[in-house]
Amino acid sequence: MNLSQNEWASQLETDPNAVILDVRTEDECNEGIIPNAIMIDIYKGQGFIYELEALDKSKNYYVYCKAGGRSSQACDIMGQLGFANTFNLMGGFMQWQGDTVQP
């Protein structure tokens, strides 16, 4: 499901079952991440799938990338793998107004 920046942030704040997933490259993540994000580079191909398979599918995943395209793709892949709840951050990290930290 695509969520606006405000929807994503407010829903994340009140979700006790939330996991934040950053699907950008390592170089992009070094520019800063949303606090507590797990980093799994979608460009790892099959490695990306293996790392997703190790995650708890019962959690709610809040997924982001730089602009929203790769994270939307990641949400689709996760849906195919049996993840029930994935939320894509529209506009991605480029438009993120919340806190950021160094990985």
Q: Residue 46: give its domain's CATH number.
A: 3.40.250.10
Whether residue 101 is contained in a domain is answered as no
Whether residue 41 is contained in a domain is answered as yes
Whether residue 103 is contained in a domain is answered as no
Tens-digit pLDDT profile for residues 44-57: 999 999 999 999 99
The confidence score (pLDDT) of residue 80 equals 97
The confidence score (pLDDT) of residue 59 equals 98
Whether residue 100 is contained in a domain is answered as no
The confidence score (pLDDT) of residue 73 equals 98
Whether residue 30 is contained in a domain is answered as yes
How do the pLDDT tens digits run along the chain, 103 residues long? 999 999 999 999 999 999 999 999 999 999 999 999 999 999 999 999 999 999 999 999 999 999 999 999 999 999 999 999 999 999 999 999 999 999 9
- The answer to whether residue 65 is catalytic is yes
Tell the residue number behind the tokens 């079952």, with chain if given.
Answer: 17
Whether residue 53 is contained in a domain is answered as yes
Domains held by the chain: number: 1
Could you give the CA distance from residue 66 to residue 23 in angstroms, rounded to a whole number? 9
Q: Which residues constitute the domain of residue 91?
A: 2-95
Q: What's the pTM?
A: 0.97
Query: Strand, coil or helix: what is 23?
Result: coil
Whether residue 73 is contained in a domain is answered as yes
Q: Which of 33, 52, 65, 75 is catalytic?
A: 65
Whether residue 39 is contained in a domain is answered as yes
